[in-house]
Copies of this chain bind each other. A is one copy, B any other.
Amino acid sequence: MTAQGFLLLLELVGVFAFALDGALVAMRSTHLDLFGVVALGIVTAVGGGILRDVLLGELPPATFRTWYYLATATGGALVAFWGHRLLARMARPIVVFDTIGLSLFAVTGAQLAVDAGIDPGQAILLGGLTGVGGGTMRDVLVRKVPSILTGGLYAVPALLGAVVAVVGPLLGISAGVAAFAGGVVCAGLRTGGLLRGWRAPRATLQSPEELD
Contacts and interface: CB of A to CB of B under 8 A. Distances in A.
Contacts of A177: none
Contacts of A54: 54-55, 59
A203 interface: yes
A55 B31 CA distance: 30
- Oligomer copy total: 3
A155 interface: yes
B56 A60 contact: yes
Nearest to A144: B143
Interface string A44-84: 00000010001111011101110100100000000001001
Size bin of chain A's contact surface: 35 or more
Interface in A11-36: 24, 26-36
Nearest to A203: B27
Contact of A35 (B26, B40, B94, B153): B153
A141 B149 CA distance: 8
Contacts of A164: none
Contacts of A50: 55
Interface stretch (A168-176, A180-188, A204-212): A204-212
Given A64-B118, A118-B64, A155-B35, A57 B56 contact: no
A88 to B, nearest CB: 5
